[in-house]
Every structure is written in structure tokens, then in C-alpha cells.
Copies of this chain bind each other. A is one copy, B any other.
Amino acid sequence: MELYGYWRSSASYRVRIGLNFKRLNYQYRPVHLLRDGGQQHQQAYRQLNPNGLVPTLVDGKTVIHQSLAIMEYLDETYQGPLLLPGTAADRAQIRAMSLDLASELQPLINLRVQQYLSATLALDDEAKKAWLVHWFARAFASLELQLRDHGSTYCYGKQFSMADACLVAQVYSAERFAIDLTPYPRLQAIYAGLLELPWVAAAHPNKQVDAEN
């Protein structure tokens, strides 16, 4: 398998965690989101991913974009530990938490939106920071409530799941933007534990071949 991604992209980070968790080997193909005007916009990459976003998984003839669709595919296709364990009701909670981060938060604060805020709306640094703070606070406050009801060692009970892959990547993103995490003690505790897991540690942005710091 080949994974097209970018070291600091939280959606790429999620999928690296998922692949490692399932002990699947893959070739990592860096797509630099800033160099050359954004390599994700180049014609060759757009043929793999019509959104011009990362990540994209290539598994033989199957080409899949969208990080959550990739993780569901891995679970349905390959043996090993499940990213979506439990009953249908359990999986519903795991999917809802994953979507709260990957769908309700990340698309609002990703690179292309930040570029629009700067280039088109001409927001200054303070207004851009306020935008990030606003949406992180909404999403993390909601997640903290769900962790109270469903969380334990992991986001959902005592088994690692897709929701944990999403949490790790989103808290990494929050740290980059210096978001205050003190209102979310459960989130912080689960995150600290997750970073110790070998399949999470190996997926860290700083450990990728395209890392720049």
C-alpha cells in the first residue's frame, strides 16, 4: 500500500496511526502542502484525490481519499485489531466522536481555510487566532462531555479505536496553534496515554521522512 500524506497534516497522522495499529506495511509518499504552490494541487495528485487534500491511500487498484473512509476500509479488508470494535451501538459512538473531530472541527481550521481567512478576508493574526480558538473550544468542550460518559483509558472505554487516532491528531494540531487545553482534563489524560503507544509514537509527524523540525 502507498499512503500519500504530509507530516503535519492531522488527517494524514490519523491514517498513519490506523495503519500502524493494524500492523500494515505501507510506503509513505510525501505531498508537500506548501512547496510549489502546494503539491496537492498538481494534476498527477489530483487524479488520485480530486479534492486536492491529503491523505490518499492506494491499495493495488483501489484509490481511497478521506481519512475516515480509509480507516473503515482497512478494518473491513485486513485482519488484525479493529479500529471500530464492539457492537453497532459502540461503533456509533466511536464514529460520532471521530466525526466531531474530523468533520466538525478539522475542516474549519485546516490549511485551505486559513489561507482563505488570510488571503481573501484579510484577517489579521488576532482575528485568525480567535477563529481557531472558537472552533477548537466548541469541539473540545463537546468531546470532554463525551469522554465523561464514554471515556476511560481511551476515548471509548478500554479499547483503542478510530476515535483515539482522531484525538491524537487533533490535539497535536491544537498544540501547534497554542490552544489552551486546561479546560479539558479528560482529553489531556487520554492524549498523554495515547502518545506512549508504539503505533501512535511511530506515526508522529516529527518521525516522518518529510518532517522539517
Given A51-B100, A77-B88, A107-B108, A95-B120 contact (CB < 8 Å) = no
A113 to B134: give the CA distance in the assembly, Å.
11
Shortest CB distance A89–B (Å)? 5
Binds B, one of A24-32, A58-66, A190-198: A58-66
Determine whether A132 belongs to the interface, using a CB cutoff of 8 Å to chain B.
no
Determine whether A152 belongs to the interface, using a CB cutoff of 8 Å to chain B.
no
Determine whether A39 belongs to the interface, using a CB cutoff of 8 Å to chain B.
no
Q: Which of B51, B70, B116, B138 has a CB less than 8 Å from the CB of A92?
A: B70
Interface string of A127-163 (1 = CB under 8 A from B): 1001100100011011101100000000000000000
Are B103 and A107 closer than 8 Å at their CB atoms?
Answer: yes
Count copies of this chain in the complex: 2
Q: Which of B53, B76, B92, B131 has a CB less than 8 Å from the CB of A104?
A: B53
For residue A139, which residues in chain B have a CB less than 8 angstroms away from its CB?
51
CB contacts under 8 Å to B, within A32-67, are: 50-53, 62, 64-66
Determine whether A209 belongs to the interface, using a CB cutoff of 8 Å to chain B.
no
Residue of B nearest to A46 (CB): B145
Given A103-B107, A120-B130, A121-B121, A91-B76 contact (CB < 8 Å) = yes
Shortest CB distance A86–B (Å)? 11
Residue of B nearest to A127 (CB): B121
Given A102-B103, A127-B121, A62-B92 contact (CB < 8 Å) = yes
Q: Which 7 A-B pairs have the closest CB atoms?
A: A103-B103, A69-B95, A76-B88, A73-B92, A50-B142, A66-B99, A66-B96
